[in-house]
Structure 1
Amino acid sequence: MGPNGLDRLGCSYLNIFRHHGNLSDLDKSIEYYSRAVALTPDGHPGISDRLACLGVAHADRFRCLGHLGDLEKWIECDSRAVALTPDGHPNISDRLATLGVSYANRFRRLEHMEDLEKWIDCDSRAVTLTPDGHPNLSDRLATLGVSYANRFRRLEHVEDLEKEIDCNSRALALTPDGHPGMSDRLATLGVSYNNRFRCLGQLEDLEKAIEYKSRALAFTLDGHSGMLDRLVSLGMSHTDRFGRLEHLEDLDKAIEYYSRALILTSGGHPDMPRRLTCLRSSYSDRFRRLGHIEDLEKTIECDSRALELIPEGHPDLPCRYFGHGLSCLSHYEHTGSVSYLNSSFSSFRAASQLSTGVPQDRFQYALRWAKLASQHTHPDIIDAYRTAIDLLPQFIWLGATPHQQYHDISTAETLASDAASAAIRSSDYSLALEWLEHARCVVWSQSLMLCSPLDQLPSSDSHLATQLKAIAVQFYNSTSSEIQVPSMTLEQIGHQRIRLASQYQSLLAQIRRLPEFEDFLQPVKANKLSRVARNGPVVVVKCNTDCCDALFIMPGWDTIRYLALPDFNEQKAHQARSDLEAPLRYMNLRERGVKFLGQPVHKDQIGSVLLTLWRDIVKPVLDYLGYLDDIPVESLPHITWCPAGTLSFLPLHAAGDYSQPRSRIFDYVISSYTPTVTALLASNSSSLDQGCPLRSLLTVGQATTPGHNPLPGTVPELAHVQAHTHNKAQYSQLVDDEATTTSVLDAMEHHDWVHLACHAHQNVTNPTKSGFYLRDDILDLASIVQEQRASLPVRLPDSHR
């Protein structure tokens, strides 16, 4: 049989399939069309028609079975048909339009950008080649508008939005009254204007959106498949206008349209939770505006219904629980009903602890939960703070930008103090230390740009860090907007979140099985922290709004001890810092050096700060430790201070009443500082006094630095260090002209420890710019960290601590 006969058979079987719906007839149609095309040479006048017919048959089978192979064949046949059809051919615009539809289908399936570009190209050419007055011009303009809308959603380029509006406006203008597609085109143009309003914020676009959406709704018959979406869409536009103009009638309209949409939505419809959320938001807004408790109760009712319908593992659940908790809390505040308060606690707990929630969001929910529990002295307080503390590293290090991380430091500092206070009120001093230390380690690592726990994984296991970070980003970027993707249902998104959560927890478990990573992203336990007090007590001091607290790690003790310091608080700490910084700024004492007699000194102001520290903090601590007895100077005990927050800026080591004898801290103890207790763990593990393998120590000395006062004590200081390390470490030094920024950085790479005896500069605003004055320039902390990116114990000069 020749190609003409095969072509006729293919056409007949295609018509039979379309009449009876039997796939076997469609298969035969494709078979005969394929044979006809195979027997037809490229130069034959009928080849383009036969390719187009074969493309139609593959298109029908793709729509029936969804097989990607048929879609590929459809595109292949239509592409060849278009290539063989000259621009002046009467069918060229039809073939371009059909090819555009095939690319649109593949874009929706695979979401490859090149398919979207080809879809737009085909539709644009089809519109250009379609003459005015052609009955298909309005349809082709509408389809081109859809393609631009898709590219706008992907790239958010305003020019695509402008082209979308132009195409939709032209399509509407060519659509006669009574046309069955009139309501669709009005609705589409309304959505386009609404999108431009949200992009550019011009009120006239929102007015046009409401106008076109209202007309679309008026043309939509009851029972029409688009009725629900049009009610919701119009409700959203009125919500947007209420947000701009705050006219109550817009809020009433939004509630009306959302309510009508809800009535028409079947109980099992996947969009039911989202529509309930739209309605609850409007009721909530009206409650805030008018204060009518019935609106708040309707808000809570919508929340409860939505929570019952959302499948387990769906990404919206934590957010919905949190919203429900806020509404219940508001009801309690207005009515005093304890049952609503208890409901808010339950909802905040669920929002914070659902594993499928984004860690950053869950952290914020846990903070709100903890604050509420603290306000009401609720039994949840420890669980709430434990949840927040456990999520803190993920909040800081996973998914956040560097700018966000820097901003989040203050949140972490506040959490550390508040959580520790809650544990102290529960008489769990070990837990208070664990939480305070955990949060402070995160703060110090982030504020000084040190390596995150992810960076510290061995190179052989760095792929685990990469995977964990990638999944965390997916968590962070996974939002309810995904439900709008046609290829994913609500349930599928829920399953995806469960899969991500499972992978996330699995990777955490893998990392925690690595040696020395058992506590990865978790607080170090108090029984481990208690090992640091080898040479004397370690005293962790923190303050909050009403008091100050001291936690003691004692040599040979496994338990953490506690002392309340009721005469000092956060306000006093800020005042002391201010009183101390003012004279220091006046005297330019931000750096170490020898000051000669005759220079102005603000003795009274500084003395007042030192007296306050002595009276309210240091003397009570020494009294608690039994250190106020007369002890020979050579036998003075050693104490390591670990101050938190604003206390970190105050000189506890110099506290005293300088008008009275034996009323100064150095009469009774020798003081040292540590930024965190964990830093002492690392120090103890590699101490020079523990018989470890021979280590290397670099010392840097600048007795005379250009432009600065001399430091005559640096020479004996380095001599003492060298004597102390004799037979314990390999010793080397760089002094005076040898100590340039480049030479010191290079030497640091080859030494385990570094001791700097030189002028230091403290930058209170940006700690990473604090540094050391060397022969040629300032060696700041940022440069050290960038060069080393490893755990290097740095001995800061006394004036810097």
Structure 2
Amino acid sequence: MTPVREAEALREARRLVKLPPGAHDLAVRHLLGWFHWFRHQALVLRTGPDPGGERGRYLDQGQPDLRIAVQALTACFLAGEEDLPEPLLPVLAVNAAGHALPLVEELGRSSDPVRLAGAAELWQRIADHVPAGHPHRALHLTALANVLRIAWREGGPQADLDTAIDRFEEALSAAPEEPAHRAMYLYNLGDALGARFQRTGAMEDVDRAVALLEEAERGTPEDGPYRALVLTGSGSALRARYGRAGALPDLDGAVARYREAVSTPSAFPEDPSGLVTTLCDLGSVLRLRFERTGAIEDADAAVEAGRRAVATMPEGHPGRVVTLSGLGAALRARYVRTGLAADADGAVETGRLAVEAVPSDHPERAVYLNDLGDALLVRYDRCGDPADRDAAVTAWSAAAAHASSTASVRIRAGMAAARLLAKSGEAERAARAADEAVRLMPQMTGCRLERHDRRDAIGDMAGLVASAAAFVLAAPGGTAHGRAERALGLLEVGRAVMFGQAPDNRGDLTDLRERHPELARRFTELRDGLDGLDGPTYDRHRSAQEFTALLAEIRDLDGFASFALPPTVGELRAEASHGPIVVFNVSGLRSDALLLTAEGLTGLPLPGLGRATVVARTNAFRQAQHTASRAADPVEREQAQAVLVDVLEWLWDAAAGPVLDVLGYKGPPPPEAEAELPRVWWAPGGLLGLLPLHAAGHHADAPQDPYRRTVMDRVVSSYTPTVRALRRARGRTPGGRAGAAATERALIVAMPTTPGLPGGGRLRFADAEAAVPADLFPDRVVLREQVGAEGDAAPTKANVLAHLPRCAVAHFACHGTSDPADPARSRLLLHDHAVAPLTVGSLAPVALDHPKLAYLSACRTAAIDTAGLFDEAIHLTSAFQLAGFPHAIGTLWEIDDPIAVRIARAFYEGLRTDSGSIDPDRAARALHSAVRQVRDGHDLPPGHDRRRAPLLWAAHLHAGA
């Protein structure tokens, strides 16, 4: 290091400093920095810790070479230069943080992905090099987390938010212990967890967010500058939890916190937007509580908060439209309760002002048009002025046609227009509006099955598709055949949306990915951005234009003319070559069955299947299930069984019987043809999917009756959510057939006990059931729960997913559970279900080699308990179909353990061919035969009639090809 000591070297260095600014600045700083670092090392003999250690956190102002080196190299660190003195990295990181902190606030107002990525990389380097015990480390981790959260908010992946939360956690751990100092760190973590809850719906996130924010409140002085911020964050978390769990104390808590926040105007000293936002939030939660409790004082307070927000926001401010919208909602809610004409007029007037205040190409314009339509409707319903009706239809129609707005908002607006038009007797206009609305549904969702926000968006559409199809069927124009075609097209588009867009599912988008991957990527990106689920929303108008042009480009491609459009009957009719497909539609207007056969499509009105009747019968059936399986009193159980029998007889009279008569299946086949019963695929949709159509009938009819009125004695039943789903199931294998699987591998999972369940969740017959497929498949993997189960033989989620891709057959003998809050979390209860559950969502990314048959002998594997998602068919049985199994056996309710063994034994015996091999394509017939054997009680003593106990035999169903 002798040369750096020379005076000439120092003079040359000073000449470098005097060079004019230019592109060489960074190189000059890099050279100067290294030069002075070498001089420092050469001229100052140091002992003890290096500058990166305890002493190196603070620069020694008496060491000029070290000071100059740090100043010069800090710029290099900020620029991402990696060739830097390692001992100086901690000091450079701390120095760089001081320069980088102002950038975080600027990024909050920017959506430039390049700047965001650069800032995230810089703050990650700072966090990597700042010493663990540095007093500002918590601040640096918070800055990194904020940048990552901004990146996620502007369209980054979910991993950005997850990592941000991890960094907020680290920052909280590194924060000072004093409550006042910890409050903002608690707020940051709680607020981020609340944001993740809004996306994923994980209750543990919102519960922890509430706890953290309440702790932050306790640590924030009442007159502190951040008190209002913490209060609004706490109010937001409580409101979000109320939206999911519906607990009134959460709503009360949100009201109290927003009220306290707006009562401290000193917290909003200059820009009124913070106060206005909090006033709007207060008005919103007060309105929610009014709608929940009916307390008129809450409605009055909500209106007052709305008026104060409008008065506080200056004319022309871009945020003024939000205040007008909030005030209009409060006035509308109060008017519905009180009927005060002034409130109705005020709601309409503020709605019009809001529409006028938003630019014509603004992506939220449809929201305010929708609000205006709602206000006009409530005034029309009370006063009956046709001008209000026409204006409401005009507002909703404009919202539905606003291409740059969110698809879900446009759909709701279009259907609102359709309902009002139908109510006014304009059936054809109603049908057109409904048709256009439902055709937007493929644009509404992305392709990740477990997404909470996507699930809620679809749940909000519950019943709209059924109404749309009913409007089309009721329209007077055209022919009955044409109306049936339009209705079937809408049901195909609007049902099982999440099913149809799941990863690797055979459909338009998957075909596009395989043949034109870049177009598929652009389509997914633009669609998700337009619906506000992913990507920035600041330029949705331009994105809408690009999306329209892209759709036209895709539809010009060979084989993609109907991309993202309802399939034609011609395209669907081929799927009826193996047997008719019956698509039901139940609505408040009318109910029908659409019968798709190889010859064509027929519509069949079903007046006995009214929606109110279906709701009542479904509720009675489910209550009777519960009583028949759990009541201690034998008389109660017998009465419940009678209800089950009665509902199955009604289901025949109102639905299945008329359908089979029209199809020509007017009685059981002769004995010599019984083995060749015709097949029928049921697509029940909605509430009807909760009832066992395959078991409908008068099972007490004499067996020799030539017109025996049961589905089971006339046809073999299978289920499919849509015709397209059936096409995909058949498209999994060459020629649409799975072929024999005599030498293929089977995965068999047996859970005679289940950790964490009362009494170990004992299934006494699980081993006996698992032995049935085990005896048939020499090449098998058996995962069995037993004492000390561990390693590769344990029935864990990881082991199941590891073996599943290479197995043609999968058989599960275990407990299962349906999640009523989130069907994507319905799961099979394996060894590690408490910490790593095998859920519907976890099966979505599984890639299988040659799947053929999944047999889910567990409770409720085909049950749907989420009212808003009845049309979606999201349950474990459909999840295995999505994973690639063309045949899946599931259950609608809890199954009897010994009966399950008998059905499994008869089922697998029914898969045997004449040559002794096993053919999974016999699955539907094999299950039908097995269930009928149990129903008919072939193994019962004389005098016992199992037909009177459908709870025992009617739960199993076949889904798929």
What is the TM-score normalised by the length of structure 2? 0.51
CA, structure 1 residues 452+53, in 2 after alignment: closer, same or farther (shift >3 Å)?
Answer: same
Give me the identity figure in percent.
18
CA, structure 1 residues 147+611, in 2 after alignment: closer, same or farther (shift >3 Å)?
Answer: closer
Give yes or no for the alignment of 1:434 onto 2:489. Answer: yes
**AA aligned opposite 1:671:** V
**AA aligned opposite 1:383:** R
**AA aligned opposite 1:305:** L
C-alpha distance in structure 2 between counterparts of 1:304 and 1:399, whole Å = 38
1:381 to 423, 430, 444: 430
User: Corresponding residue for 2:569?
Assistant: 526
Any conservation in 1 of the 2:366–2:400 contact (CA below 8 Å)? yes
CA offsets 1:177-208 (integer angstroms, 9 cap, x no match):
xxxxxxxx7xx765565445545747776565
1:562 to 593, 603, 613: 603
1:209 to 249, 257, 261: 261
**Alignment of structure 1 residues 631-646 onto 2, 5 Å:** 641-643=680-682, 644-645=684-685, 646=688
Any conservation in 1 of the 2:695–2:712 contact (CA below 8 Å)? no
CA offsets 1:664-703 (integer angstroms, 9 cap, x no match):
3699996344534736974999899xx979983336999x
User: Corresponding residue for 1:768?
Assistant: 876
CA, structure 1 residues 574+168, in 2 after alignment: closer, same or farther (shift >3 Å)?
Answer: closer
Where 1:658 maps in the other structure, the secondary structure is: coil
- Measure how far apart 1:501 and its partner are: 2.8
C-alpha distance in structure 1 between counterparts of 2:736 and 2:307, whole Å = 78
C-alpha distance in structure 2 between counterparts of 1:614 and 1:545, whole Å = 20
C-alpha distance in structure 2 between counterparts of 1:421 and 1:351, whole Å = 22
**AA aligned opposite 1:499:** R
Range that drifts further, 419-428 or 601-610: 601-610
Range that drifts further, 436-445 or 345-354: 436-445
**AA aligned opposite 2:309:** Y
Give yes or no for the alignment of 1:295 onto 2:343. Answer: yes
CA, structure 1 residues 320+197, in 2 after alignment: closer, same or farther (shift >3 Å)?
Answer: same
- Measure how far apart 1:525 and its partner are: 1.0
CA, structure 1 residues 754+114, in 2 after alignment: closer, same or farther (shift >3 Å)?
Answer: closer
Give yes or no for the alignment of 1:671 onto 2:715. Answer: yes
CA, structure 1 residues 652+409, in 2 after alignment: closer, same or farther (shift >3 Å)?
Answer: farther
C-alpha distance in structure 2 between counterparts of 1:83 and 1:687, whole Å = 59
Where 2:863 maps in the other structure, the secondary structure is: coil
C-alpha distance in structure 1 between counterparts of 2:69 and 2:625, whole Å = 87
- Measure how far apart 1:764 and its partner are: 4.9
**AA aligned opposite 1:382:** A
CA offsets 1:723-744 (integer angstroms, 9 cap, x no match):
xxxxxxxxxxx97713379479
Q: How many residues align?
A: 656
2:395 to 347, 368, 387: 347
C-alpha distance in structure 1 between counterparts of 2:681 and 2:69, whole Å = 80
User: Corresponding residue for 2:872?
Assistant: none
Where 2:740 maps in the other structure, the secondary structure is: strand
- Measure how far apart 1:433 and its partner are: 2.4
CA, structure 1 residues 231+393, in 2 after alignment: closer, same or farther (shift >3 Å)?
Answer: closer
**Alignment of structure 1 residues 598-613 onto 2, 5 Å:** none
CA, structure 1 residues 385+70, in 2 after alignment: closer, same or farther (shift >3 Å)?
Answer: same
**Alignment of structure 1 residues 723-762 onto 2, 5 Å:** 737-739=775-777, 742=780, 746-747=807-808
User: Corresponding residue for 1:136?
Assistant: none
- Measure how far apart 1:329 and its partner are: 0.9
CA, structure 1 residues 393+654, in 2 after alignment: closer, same or farther (shift >3 Å)?
Answer: same
Any conservation in 1 of the 2:183–2:220 contact (CA below 8 Å)? yes
C-alpha distance in structure 1 between counterparts of 2:743 and 2:612, whole Å = 39
1:422 to 462, 466, 471: 471
**AA aligned opposite 1:212:** T
C-alpha distance in structure 1 between counterparts of 2:105 and 2:773, whole Å = 72
Any conservation in 1 of the 2:228–2:264 contact (CA below 8 Å)? yes
Any conservation in 2 of the 1:754–1:795 contact (CA below 8 Å)? no
Any conservation in 2 of the 1:239–1:251 contact (CA below 8 Å)? yes
Any conservation in 2 of the 1:697–1:753 contact (CA below 8 Å)? no
User: Corresponding residue for 1:486?
Assistant: none
Structure 2 portions without partners, runs of 5+? 1-9, 41-61, 140-181, 195-208, 239-252, 290-294, 630-637, 747-763, 783-803, 810-847, 865-874, 878-888, 892-899, 908-919, 932-956
- Measure how far apart 1:623 and its partner are: 6.0
1:277 to 297, 300, 325: 325
C-alpha distance in structure 2 between counterparts of 1:259 and 1:603, whole Å = 60
Any conservation in 1 of the 2:302–2:330 contact (CA below 8 Å)? yes
Any conservation in 1 of the 2:447–2:498 contact (CA below 8 Å)? no
- RMSD (Å) for aligned C-alpha atoms: 6.8
Structure 1 portions without partners, runs of 5+? 11-23, 59-68, 85-91, 128-143, 174-184, 221-225, 483-491, 589-599, 712-733, 781-790
C-alpha distance in structure 2 between counterparts of 1:621 and 1:374, whole Å = 27
C-alpha distance in structure 2 between counterparts of 1:325 and 1:155, whole Å = 35
CA offsets 1:490-530 (integer angstroms, 9 cap, x no match):
xx9653x1233345445555655666554444321123334
Range that drifts further, 771-780 or 458-467: 771-780
C-alpha distance in structure 1 between counterparts of 2:531 and 2:369, whole Å = 18
What is the TM-score normalised by the length of structure 1? 0.59
Any conservation in 1 of the 2:808–2:852 contact (CA below 8 Å)? no
Where 1:696 maps in the other structure, the secondary structure is: coil
Give yes or no for the alignment of 1:662 onto 2:662. Answer: no
CA, structure 1 residues 699+158, in 2 after alignment: closer, same or farther (shift >3 Å)?
Answer: closer
**Alignment of structure 1 residues 341-740 onto 2, 5 Å:** 341-378=389-426, 379-395=428-444, 397-398=446-447, 401-402=450-451, 414-426=463-475, 427=480, 428-440=483-495, 442=497, 454=509, 458-459=513-514, 461=516, 465=520, 467-477=522-532, 494-495=538-539, 497-505=540-548, 508=551, 512=555, 516-534=559-577, 539-544=582-587, 548-553=591-596, 555-556=598-599, 560-570=601-611, 620=658, 641-643=680-682, 644-645=684-685, 646=688, 649-651=692-694, 658=701, 661-664=705-708, 671-676=715-720, 678=723, 682=727, 696-698=739-741, 737-739=775-777
- Measure how far apart 1:324 and its partner are: 1.3
In our comparison, the structure showing a higher alpha carbon Rg is 1
Any conservation in 2 of the 1:607–1:658 contact (CA below 8 Å)? no
CA, structure 1 residues 392+672, in 2 after alignment: closer, same or farther (shift >3 Å)?
Answer: farther
- Measure how far apart 1:353 and its partner are: 3.6
CA, structure 1 residues 654+518, in 2 after alignment: closer, same or farther (shift >3 Å)?
Answer: farther
User: Corresponding residue for 1:311?
Assistant: 359
**AA aligned opposite 1:765:** A
